[in-house]
Homo-oligomer: A and B are copies of this chain.
Amino acid sequence: MKQIRTDLAMESSEAAGCIPGVSIASWEESGVLITEVVIETEESAKNLSKPMGRYITLECEGVRTRDPMAYDALSSILAEEIARLLPPDENRTPALIVGLGNRMVTPDALGPKTIDHVLVTRHLINELPDETDERLSSVCCICPGVLGVTGIETMESVKSIVSAVKPRVIICIDALAARASKRVGVSIQLSDVGIQPGSGVGNHRRAITKEELGVPVIAIGMPTVVYASTIARDALYLMSEGEAEEEMLDKITKTLFENEIGEMIVTPREIDDMIEDAAGLIARAINISLQDRLSQSELDGLLKR
C-alpha cells in the first residue's frame, strides 16, 4: 500500500504494522484519545517515509458532533502537549507562529485562519518593555503564502523572517491529508520534527526544520482532506482482501480520475465551518501554552472576542 498518502505518522505506522524502531503508546485523558508514535531509528523513518521524532495525535469523539465541551478538552490537552515541547521563555525572545497554506483555498486555509486568533505581543513588548505586563510572553506571526501565489518558496520566506526576528521557537500550523476520512476535521497531530517536503494540502517543497533554521520547529496539523485516489485504493484493497496488485490498483485509480479539473480531494461538505472551528481550537491551545502566566479570563480580555 505504499502509494497511499497520509501526513499522519499514526496512520503510516498503522499501515506498516509492528516494526522495530517505532514505539507506539496510547492513552485517554478527559475523553481525548492520545496516541504517541516515536520513530527512533533511521531505518524505521525510511520505512514509514517520516523523519525520526515524536508524533502525538489527539482525537476526540465529541468534535464530530461539534460539542463545545469536546473543543475545550481537546484544546486544553493540545496546550499541555505544546508546552512540553517549548524551549524555556528567556529574555522575552519571541515565539514565531507560521500559518502555512493559502487563505483563498478553503481546504488549505487552516494555517492562515489560525493566525487570525493568535495573541500577538512582540510589538508591544519591544516598544514599551517596561510598561508591558512582564508575564506576557513575546509572540509574533507570519503567513508566508504559497509558492504559486507569491513566487517565493515558503522556506525562503520563513528563513528570511527567522533571521530578522531570531525566535526561540517556531510553531507551524498546516492543513494535512489523512488516509482515513474519519480523521478529517477530528484528529490533531503535533510533532517536534517540523514540516517535511511534500507534506500538507499545499505540498511544501522544502523542509522547515530545526536543521535548516537553527531553531526548534513544532508542527501542528489537522487533516482537512483525504486524496480521492486514497479512497479508491482503499476500497479496492479492502475488496481484494489484501490481494490486490499495485499495478491493477494504479490502473483502476487512473480510470476513475482521468481528465479532472485538478487534484481531487475528499472532504466534508461543511468544510468552511470545519476549518473555522479547527483554527479557533488550535489558536486557543497555542495562546494557552505560550501565555501560561495569564489566567483564562485575562487571556480572553486581551483577545477581545
How many copies make up the complex? Answer: 4
- Contact check, B269 vs A105: say whether CB atoms are below 8 A apart: yes
- Contact check, B272 vs A268: say whether CB atoms are below 8 A apart: no
| Chain B binder among A30-38, A85-93, A224-232 | A224-232
Q: How far is the CB of A98 from chain B (nearest CB, A)?
A: 11
Q: Chain B contacts of A186 at CB under 8 A? A: 261
Interface presence of A247 (CB below 8 A) = no
Q: How far is the CB of A184 from chain B (nearest CB, A)?
A: 6
Q: How far is the CB of A223 from chain B (nearest CB, A)?
A: 10
Bound form: Cα–Cα A147–B272 in Å: 18
Interface presence of A262 (CB below 8 A) = yes
Kindly supply a per-residue 1/0 record for chain A positions 135-179, scoring 1 wherever the CB is within 8 Å of any chain B CB and 0 otherwise: 000111111010111111100110111011100000000000000
- Contact check, B63 vs A261: say whether CB atoms are below 8 A apart: yes
Question: Which of B103, B142, B159, B260 is A150 in contact with, Cβ under 8 Å?
Answer: B142
Question: Which of B107, B184, B261, B300 is A68 in contact with, Cβ under 8 Å?
Answer: B300
Question: Which of B107, B123, B273 is A152 in contact with, Cβ under 8 Å?
Answer: B123
Q: How far is the CB of A25 from chain B (nearest CB, A)?
A: 22
- Contact check, B261 vs A184: say whether CB atoms are below 8 A apart: yes
- Contact check, B108 vs A269: say whether CB atoms are below 8 A apart: yes
Interface presence of A255 (CB below 8 A) = yes
Interface positions of A (Cβ within 8 A of B): 63-64, 66-68, 94, 103-108, 115-116, 120-123, 138-143, 145, 147-153, 156-157, 159-161, 163-165, 181-182, 184-186, 201, 225-226, 228, 231-236, 238-240, 244, 248, 252-253, 255-274, 277, 300-301, 304-305
- Which 3 residue pairs are nearest across A and B when measured between Cβ atoms? A140-B151, A122-B151, A262-B268
